[in-house]
Amino acid sequence: MKNKSNPGIIDKEKIILKLYITGMSENSVRAIQNIRQLCNQYPNDCFDLEIIDIYKNPSAAEEQKIVFSPSLIRQHPLPKKTFIGDLSDTKKIILGLGITFKE
């Protein structure tokens, strides 16, 4: 079903993302910039992004079993998916997130 409020993408549930970073390291800063740039390409109601610094909140990383940082987790829709690194390969991230464009 096509979503009239989000031109260019197929109607989907909101994508809930959690980005786990380690302070303001070089890779963490790049990952934040890359995921924000990706999210800003779509209407505000497409993504719900939470950025979690595992230095400040180590229990959150333990709960999600985060081993590498930065790590982006797509919480919803299921199945859960994890992306590791600075998220610079946006085509791979878009495909992995399940964003489908209408023709």
In a domain, 3, yes or no: no
In a domain, 2, yes or no: no
The pLDDT of residue 101: 54
In a domain, 82, yes or no: yes
In a domain, 102, yes or no: no
In a domain, 22, yes or no: yes
Convert the pLDDT of each residue in 20-65 to its tens digit. 999 999 999 999 999 999 888 877 778 899 999 999 999 988 888 8
Q: Which domain holds residue 73?
A: 15-97
Convert the pLDDT of each residue in 79-93 to its tens digit. 899 999 999 988 888
Cα–Cα distances in Å, from 56 out to 21, 52, 65?
A: 10, 8, 16
The 3-state DSSP class for residue 36 equals: helix
At 53, the amino acid letter reads D
Tally of structural domains, the chain: 1
The pLDDT of residue 56: 94
Domain holding 29: CATH number? 3.40.30.10
In a domain, 4, yes or no: no
Rounded Cα distance between 35 and 87, Å, is: 7
In a domain, 1, yes or no: no
